[in-house]
Structure 1
Amino acid sequence: MTISSLPYLPSSSERNIRIQDSHISHSSEKEIALALSRLDLDLNKRGLINKEDLESIVTEIQKNKTITSSQGLYLIRCCGNLLPEELLEERNNLVQKIWELLLNFEVPLDINHFNSLLRIYLENEHSFNPLRFLSTMIEREIQPDRVTYQRLLIAYTQKGDLEGAKKILNILKHKELVIDYRTYNAIVTGHSMMGDWEGAKSIISSMSAKGLTPDTETYRELLKGYAKFGICFAISSSLENWKKMNVSFSDGDLLAALYKAAVHGHSEAVDILLNRMRKDRDYNRSCVNIILQLVTQRKENEAFKILLSMKPKRTIDDKIVEFCRKLVQTEKNSRAFFIALEAANIFERIELVDPLLNEIRDGGSSANFLGSILASGMQSGGEKKLIDTLRKMAAIRLYPNVQTINKHILPHLAGDSQTLLQKLRSARLSFPVISVALLQKSLASLDFNEAIRITSTFYISMNLRLYEDIATAYVKSQNATGLARLMNSLLPDGEEDETKNEAMELSSQIIGSVLKEICDQTPSGQLEVIEPLLEALKDQGLTISLSVAQFVRDKASEGKMTSAAVDLLAELTSGKLIPVPLNPTPRRLQLATISQVEKNIAKFRTFARERKLDEALAVRKELDAHNVPFSDGLNLLLIDLYGHHGRLDEALDVFSRMHMNPDLIVLPSKIMILSARLLKVGRIDDAIRVLEKLKIDPRVTENIELTRLVNASAIRLMDAAAENGNVETIQKIFDCLEHSKALKMSRALLGSLVKVHVVRDDLDSALDEFDRWTKERRTTPWNTQLAANLIEKDDTTRLDRLMRMNTAVHGEKNSLFDLSLAFLSCQRVRDAKNVLETPGLRIVNSRVDNVCAFYVRRKKIDELENLVKITKNVFNVDRHMLYNHLLAACIKVDDPKRATNVWTLMQEEGDLVPDSGFLRRLGDFLKTKKILVPFSVPPSDQMSS
């Protein structure tokens, strides 16, 4: 059965309606979604799926009469080459069965479903009428897109029907759709399948004439034609010629040609192609699929040849993970995963990193797992080793919770709360977690004074566990005064009405929760335990609500409420008590005066941030009239405001007066901004003098955002100095930054020391400077930009020197990736592609991710599109990640046409299925632009396979 014979397809309006059977339970839908997820997991592991698993899902769908649009799309895509063990006829029967299900259940269908069905027809060599398929789509109000026409064109050319292909070409021209590489490649396929070599070569020549350089896929189609007809001489000679043209075939390309030779009985051609295999990382998996397909075609001898060519596999990744897990579970080596992770990095077993990290993270949800790691840290090196272990855990985003800190960390660290805080912060634990852990530690030791110091220093977010711990500490110690003072310390202080009201509400909440916990822990004799606490709460001036008072009465034994307890509850609920300050301070100015001062300070801050100089100075004059001293923060705002308006003398004057205090520490970024402004107007000496005031700021080391701000300011300062082309000046600035130790010297900072020579067009000095840092610090500053500069000048000699230095630091693989990025930045796409297709080259996805994120930030869509294109055949590159970045870039530049093309490109790639998140982002963007969305947007709660 073909699409034209199907009985019914919903109209455009009907497709927007999802029919649901009222008798279908939610659990059935969930079971189907989970089954699809398991199928997808199996696919990711093996590269293929089992027909029985697929059929069982289809049976479940038939039984429950429920399937979503995206699930249907996924099932269609499973019926082609992902079933290599099945005959082509069986695969076709299965996809037709799924298609009928979608129609019968009136599932919303869009162009994605039709394009996927077309692709499966092509993979299964299904015989159908492309024009009838097209007319059926149009009748059903489904508008074909570029992918549709390309696949219809391939349907003709696979059969060698060039007349039919011309009809599709005419439609493409009539609709003014882009005729790109894929279109020409399809025509080359048509000529090659007919054995028309001259016709194929003439198409390739016409591509070049139209400015389209034939790519690997173009020549692959010609190679498949030679293989189909067993022309061994043409195979060998063409591969040699193409190699000289820098056309590089992947194992997958050669296996596709080998398959053609095998199914048409050309054993000698199979041998030639097998000898040309590069046997890259994914070779064995690709071989498995081809072997299974050949076996179904009764070509066992050729399949066995491929089997013998497969590489012997190293220790299976799953085995390494399994052994590590057993070592941890049997307590033979609790650090097994960390050791394996370190070894994987050393020996460049990149494929092992993710499973090991997943095990570490998964194990991190278990206190026992974390405890075993931390205990091993103690056993093998004391405090230092424990802190080092915590840092390694933080590096992979594995953080212990409060319970783990109390059980496995704090018992092994010495010092008071402040010392413990510093140690744990050095291990990159967060303030909230540390503070709660320290509070629980002090409560466990019944030390209320230490608990009060902690709550007075840090903001504590109260929770049920803390209320339980506070109640337990009181029940054990009976220290009513200590507990009352602790609850007082948890309240906000202040004299204004709003603050008072907030304190009273919070007081009732905290005290009520603690009292309830105390009552729960003392089922008998509750009044004897609570009454001393009520007295202490009154002494601290704390308030409770009427509901809490009633709770106390209810909990007290019948008839045992003493008159003293009744009087205490009356006072505590009167609202007349004022909390006693824990640290009494001298009486402040009158509230009215303070209120006006605070309003003026707020005005000054607002004007300063809005760059309104005159208004800010007027407010400052008012503050001076009231003898209100300017804080360092306000002075820094004033310096920035003066600098923005070019009044640098006034800015320097305020800066100098501030630094009359020798202990003053100014945020480094503020100093760098002022220095950069002075540098911009040529006041080099003043800029250097300002930088000499740089000091280490503890706030920066404790705050990631501040660290980034300081680093960014330093980079901008150094870059501005480099643009001036003055080598002596930039060296002085660098020396100031380095000697201050206010920040770490990064590769980006060092890059300006190389860039300054390039600005002066002194490339030899630039390379010498680059060489200096590769030897002194094992880093490669301004590497890609320097390479791009040399590429643009066609300076191969210096480029070769640069590559040797870069390789000495990063190794050949990383250096080649850097070189490909340099070629991309120069629009030398072909050269970049050739570099990435170097045999044995493996790209780390995290590096690609960082590069893509950089392109998105800088709105470099052309470079990003080219990166997506040239990495198509590169092993292990996350294509979904690339396309998500490309979509983000199109949305960032507000280009809906380009964004829609990203979706089309994913379809053209064939093996990619846009996930629901991608489709929702694109769909939402197109809707905001009032553009028709060409696919069904999945709901936000839909489970994606």
Structure 2
Amino acid sequence: MRPHLELLLNNFADKGIYISAYKFRRARTILDQLKLGGLKANAAKIVDPVDGVVTSSGRMDFLAKDIENIDMLEANLQELKTKDGNFRPVLRRLIEAYCETNQPDKALEYKVEWDNSGYEPAAGILSRLIGVCSANNNQQEALKLRNELKAKFPEFKMDMLKYCQLIHGAVKENKIDVALNLVDDIKECGTSTDNVERRVFFLLQNLTEEGYIEEAKQLTRKFIDCNIVNSNNNILRPVVTALMDKRDMEGALSWIQECQAKYGFMPSFHDILVRLINEGDKDMLQKAMEFSSSHHGDINMLYDMTFAFLTTSKFDEAKKIIDTPGMIARAGRLQWYSEKCLVDQMQEQMEKLVEITKDLYNCNRDNLYFSLLQLYARKEDPNKCLQIWTNMQEEEVIPSDRTLRYLANVLKSHDQPIPYEVPQIMDMSPQSGITDINGDDSNIVKLCLEGNIDQALQLINDAKENKTSLKYKTLDTVILSALKLGDVDTALKVRDIIKEFGLTVNKLTNSAIFFHYIETDNLPAAENIFEDFIAKGIQPTVRMTRALALKYEQTGNMDKINNMIDQLGDSHDEQYQLYKYVLGALLYRNELDTAFTKIKEKLSETQNGDKVGLRSFFSKMIQNELPLDKG
């Protein structure tokens, strides 16, 4: 078979008989199936040059051809007609050239001549004609050509740009049914491009900007229902943006509600809230809040409002929401707004977010500080970057290795000293070939990274027996790693070893152990650490103090709370604000009369409701459905 096929292909090439790129692709596939791949080079010689150049690898290069001189082609065509020759290749080149030079009328004229001459249709030419007709608002001819292409080449995949041009043209001519049918066409035939979502987004954006909002809604639903694009905020956003530009906030919110109900997305909801706050539209804002609360919960609604207030620089309102009783950290929501601050370079908003979430329960402070650090670094402000390190120490936030390394790189790039030991990244795989870099310290840190705390403790005990010194940072790493794994016994053993080495356990490490006890409800152990701080004259952190007081409140232990107030002295009012826990404990014991009496006494001393804890007190009464008319 091979010799005959090779001879046939060479004869075609000698006689100037061409095939389209579309047929070449099919022939190439068949040759591969017949295990005759070596003949693809022979087949490439008979590909019509108008469709492109075939590379040595057998692939089509559609960018290799040049736009030919039209006058020369016209003259060549007339000469071939006079000689009664085969002018098909020249005719194809002329149609191609007129498409390239955006002359649809001339291109269509030669298309008619092509048909009248009885030449075989070419998918590439039809596709190009569709593109040039759509670009020049000749919608009727473009659709006619699309129907011809589909009928004659049902397997041909037209690129998405041409589909979008056809759909756009149909909408502009008020033929929404035609546009929707074209979407079905895409689903049935497929498309040759891989940037489908990008094309669809710009189609919807252009339509909404031109005022075709209702049509864009129908097309959005259709594209998603046909699985041509996945539902996401980006695809759903153009309609919201257009409605907001028209100041149709009710229509925008209605579309968001539909998107949430059908697809689980709320496109540009933050932007809606920001606009409503700026415009002071309280009624619509209330509707938006109710919608948010009903669909993804009160906590998420409060985050929506917090971020909107931050963006509009209404920081006091944002803080009031974060201070709402029962508010807890939602890592995903905080990360979203942190990234938005980074992208939009909203420095003040990011700073305020870090500030108002200081006492937010279960908040990953390191993540927030890291985002702020990135923002300062992008603005090339090493002094503010270094201030973050200071703030984290004052707040007793344990920085992650990621934060420490990032800050170190920033300081180093600005020739600033690094005030701490930079943690190293180590490859723990057997193939890495890592040896004992820094003796026992290095091996212990490696074991911690692997999660092998028992073996790390064994090396520490060996070092202790051999009277080998270890760095405090190494021992501290073991404690923190053990706590992450819930192994408090090992953490305490290493803490005792630190003391035996003559070192002092720092406040951060003791705080980490304290919070582990709080989380595991081991109050006696947590109390021991707290009492040890007081005895040594070390001021407990606000987080430690409030966490312990909350535990006492939840059991109604008035004696313990009053003892803490006595130990902390006058600072309990200004810094720790423990009085709200006293009231909370009274509520737990159902001693409402006593609680109201204490409130009156306290208000006679100060008019500051925050010091008394009124907001927290009344919120808890409402939550527990207690009467508000006491006293």
TM-score by length of 1: 0.30
TM-score by length of 2: 0.43
